[in-house]
Structure 1
Amino acid sequence: MKIETIAIHAGNHTDPSTRAVVQPITLSTTFERGEDGEFPGGFSYTRAANPNRKSLENVMAQLEGGVDACAFSSGNAAGAAVFQSLKPGSHIVAPDDMYHGLKNLINSVYKDILTADYLDLSDLKAVESAIKPDTKLIWIETPSNPLLKVTDIAGICKIAHERGIIVCCDNTFATPVFQQPLTLGADLVMHATTKYLGGHSDVLGGVLITKNNDGFWERIRSVQTLSGAVPAPFDCYMAVRGIKTLPYRMRGHSANAGKIARYLESHPRVEAVFYPGLENHPLHHIAKTQMSDFGGMLSFTIRGSSDETREISNKLKLFTRATSLGGVESLIEHRASVEGPDTKTPKNLLRISVGLEYIDDLIADLEQALK
């Protein structure tokens, strides 16, 4: 099946008792045993498994071309399950502009358990040099947040697998519609389902998808079940509902983002635009080989101070100043102020999650704010 068909059908089944076309929400926390003590319906307790979570995991495994998936209560919970599944003392190689929530998680919660080096993953020689005897994981984020850096997934996987190192790719920005890391060699894929998968800024969640049902995946599944950081049935239902329109929404996001990137690129007040679909992006040639389109996220820097940058975002009418991304509405954020004093994000940078509004309206709004 093609991705549009998978998105609609793999997360849904007709209810056998009522013949409802849309799968109902199963709120029960516990399930009846059979007379033999077993569970004829396949479910025992909702922390371990739930029909709605099973549907979300099924559709995500199929969309990414994996063999299994684990859904979590947030993207950070999904990342944490990977880190928890590593043995104490393991070393991680991660991007220097890794999503600050996950980076802070490693540096605070796991600071006495794991070690990490953060570097520019576009430099494959630097990645090779950073690998240590105890390196067990390379974490990829491509395109990255917020600088839209591109990582050569196949290149990183070759380096890692020659040394027996696991590769996990955060595919949140690209989604499985535009990029499929498992086919490029990654072992695991992570998404914040909060973003494009849910697609409407109204549900929190995360998911991991695996290429192999191996021992490391069994540890991740155990972390999911025993730690209990699982999404509620309603959250799973909402994520599955959003995924049904994902392929068509992503085409609209990407088309709008490409036009805005080119508009900003030519504006005299704009210093630089970070978008992998632009030919002057330093790794545009890599993006073209591993992405079918370039997504709805972009960042740009202003010729001016931090205050002048924030003033531009304050003048916008259709772009809401807010954290997060991937909804149908356009959002803008001054990332440096969100990430704190240790951020390496330029203070004159604004990140845009380009929504599905009419493109001429969005460009007119940017035009009046940039005057």
Structure 2
Amino acid sequence: MAARGDTAAAERVREFVKHTGCHLSSREAEGVLVRCRALPTQQEEPLAPDRPEDAISAELARAYGARDAADVFLHNSGMNAVAAAVETLTRVQHERGRKLWLQLGWIFFDTMSIFEKRLSDADRIVIPDPSDTEAIVATALAHAGDLAGIIGEIPSNPLLQTPDVAAVREVADRIGAAVVLDTSIGTPWNVDVLSFSDVTCESLTKYATGSADVLMGAAVVNAASPFAGELRAGLHEHGDRPFSRDAARVAARIPGYEARIRQVNRNTMAVVEFLEAQNAVRRVAWAYSDRSARNYTKIHRAPSSPGGLVLLDLAVPIEQIYDPLPFPKGPSFGADFTMASPQVFIAHNDMLATVAGREELRERGLHRDMLRISVGIEEPESLIDSLRQVFRH
């Protein structure tokens, strides 16, 4: 019995670490191994040695249009930034008798796990379609006295749907709920959402660095938020600061953030045009697709600014496209190089294994034969040539 209890406790710890973004940095672990003489030296890499956290905060304050760089809070991962924001607002709202969150669409699975696995003491209602403004407003008003906060992604992961953030902000203000938005996919250079949130979170592992070799995140507080004071205190209390060498690595890469995302945008526009003409593709989900486009265009900073993620609903088995596709394969996104991912397999493999799970996925617009592409900064002609190798009308 003791062994069984130990196993359960270990699993609980593993889930907490995974879904709240708490972890030991690989660079920090490397430093320990060097000090123990298990490694001869640390790997050489470009780092920004002088006050890297200040440099990162200043760059993000500029990108988001924050009043002060002091309202940018750095965390050891994007997931940790989201978890700290949710935990802070959950505790604040508990004191006001509120314990319910409204989730806009199906979002990143680790974020959903904060609620599903009770890593934060909060209940949750899910709006299946984040583009359904009427459902969002009606549900929020129906639970006005209980609603602690509303959480969404701009656009959502994996279906790339965007809510009407102005309408979300308006109803949240009416009922005293907080708003948490995640801009990891849209990026602050593409979308202007800080004024519609109480706190906006981002994984700096993605486009902010583009190198796919460092974990880090940020939470940016809206100084005009009625929760601003509690957020400033709580993000420190519930979040984990980044390791110094990770911050130095991000600081070395983040000056190229704006130019990087501009090239990604140009490439994505070309890639989507090509993919939408392919017989093997039923539909391309991206920032400007279907009903989501009308909400996304309200907040994009310039036309043709979709970010780099596209999700392909394939008319053929995914193996036919994924296996020969000459791109690096991996579950992340936002790197300088283009990546491909069988995203439903990675995020929801347990659901694919059962009939009930597959049916639930289909109800949410997902199935096994969906391919996610994270567009990089290569020359657009080379990307199209690579795609043409496997898509032949």
TM over 0.5: yes
Q: Would the aligned equivalents of 1:65 and 1:211 in 2 still touch at CA under 8 Å?
A: no
Q: State the shift of 1:283 in Å.
A: 2.8
Note if 1:325 corresponds to 2:325. Answer: no
Which of 294, 314, 317 is the aligned partner of 1:302? Answer: 314
Q: Which runs of 5+ in 1 are unaligned?
A: 1-21, 27-50
3-state SS of paired residue (1:162): helix
User: What's 1:149 paired with?
Assistant: 161
CA distance in 1, matches of 2:226, 2:307: 33
**Cα separation, partners in 2 of 1:333 and 1:23, compared to 1, 3 Å:** closer
Note if 1:163 corresponds to 2:175. Answer: yes
3-state SS of paired residue (1:61): helix
Q: State the shift of 1:217 in Å.
A: 3.8
Q: State the shift of 1:105 in Å.
A: 2.4
CA distance in 2, matches of 1:227, 1:84: 7
User: What's 1:125 paired with?
Assistant: 134
Q: How does 1:171-186 map to 2 (within 5 A)?
A: 171-183=183-195, 185-186=196-197
User: What's 2:278 paired with?
Assistant: 267
Q: Would the aligned equivalents of 1:25 and 1:233 in 2 still touch at CA under 8 Å?
A: no
Which of 187, 196, 216 is the aligned partner of 2:207? Answer: 196
3-state SS of paired residue (1:191): strand
Q: State the shift of 1:24 in Å.
A: 5.1
CA distance in 1, matches of 2:222, 2:206: 22
User: What's 2:386 paired with?
Assistant: 365
Q: State the shift of 1:309 in Å.
A: 0.6
**Cα separation, partners in 2 of 1:294 and 1:214, compared to 1, 3 Å:** closer
Q: State the shift of 1:339 in Å.
A: 1.4
**Cα separation, partners in 2 of 1:138 and 1:361, compared to 1, 3 Å:** same
**Cα separation, partners in 2 of 1:215 and 1:25, compared to 1, 3 Å:** farther
User: What's 1:102 paired with?
Assistant: 111
Match of 2:87, as an amino acid?
Q
Note if 1:116 corresponds to 2:124. Answer: yes
CA distance in 1, matches of 2:314, 2:225: 47
Q: 1:33-64: CA deviations, max 9, x gaps? A: xxxxxxxxxxxxxxxxxx43233223322321
Q: How many residues align?
A: 318
Q: 1:221-254: CA deviations, max 9, x gaps? A: 4444345611112212222222211111111101
Q: Would the aligned equivalents of 1:74 and 1:205 in 2 still touch at CA under 8 Å?
A: yes
Bigger fraction of residues in helix: 2
Which of 215, 221, 236 is the aligned partner of 1:225? Answer: 236
Q: State the shift of 1:296 in Å.
A: 1.2
Q: Would the aligned equivalents of 1:224 and 1:230 in 2 still touch at CA under 8 Å?
A: no
CA distance in 1, matches of 2:235, 2:217: 11
Q: 1:99-152: CA deviations, max 9, x gaps? A: 1111122211436x1011111221111112322121111112121111111211
Runs of 4+ in structure 1 over 4 Å off = none
TM-score normalised to structure 2 length? 0.76
CA distance in 2, matches of 1:177, 1:162: 29
Match of 1:355, as an amino acid?
G
User: What's 2:345 paired with?
Assistant: 337
**Cα separation, partners in 2 of 1:245 and 1:24, compared to 1, 3 Å:** closer
Percent identical residues: 22
**Cα separation, partners in 2 of 1:283 and 1:225, compared to 1, 3 Å:** closer
3-state SS of paired residue (1:71): strand
CA distance in 2, matches of 1:247, 1:357: 16
User: What's 2:83 paired with?
Assistant: 80
CA distance in 1, matches of 2:239, 2:65: 26
Q: How does 1:63-78 map to 2 (within 5 A)?
A: 63-67=63-67, 68-78=71-81
Match of 1:176, as an amino acid?
P
Q: Which runs of 5+ in 2 are unaligned?
A: 1-45, 352-356
TM-score normalised to structure 1 length? 0.80
Q: How does 1:18-97 map to 2 (within 5 A)?
A: 25=49, 51-67=51-67, 68-85=71-88, 86-87=90-91, 88=94, 90-97=99-106
Deviates more, 1:131-140 or 1:56-65: 56-65
CA distance in 1, matches of 2:52, 2:226: 25
Q: State the shift of 1:23 in Å.
A: 9.2
3-state SS of paired residue (2:323): helix
Match of 1:130, as an amino acid?
T
**Cα separation, partners in 2 of 1:277 and 1:24, compared to 1, 3 Å:** closer
CA distance in 1, matches of 2:229, 2:116: 25
Match of 2:209, as an amino acid?
G
C-alpha root-mean-square deviation of aligned residues, in Å? 2.1
Q: State the shift of 1:213 in Å.
A: 6.9
CA distance in 1, matches of 2:274, 2:48: 45
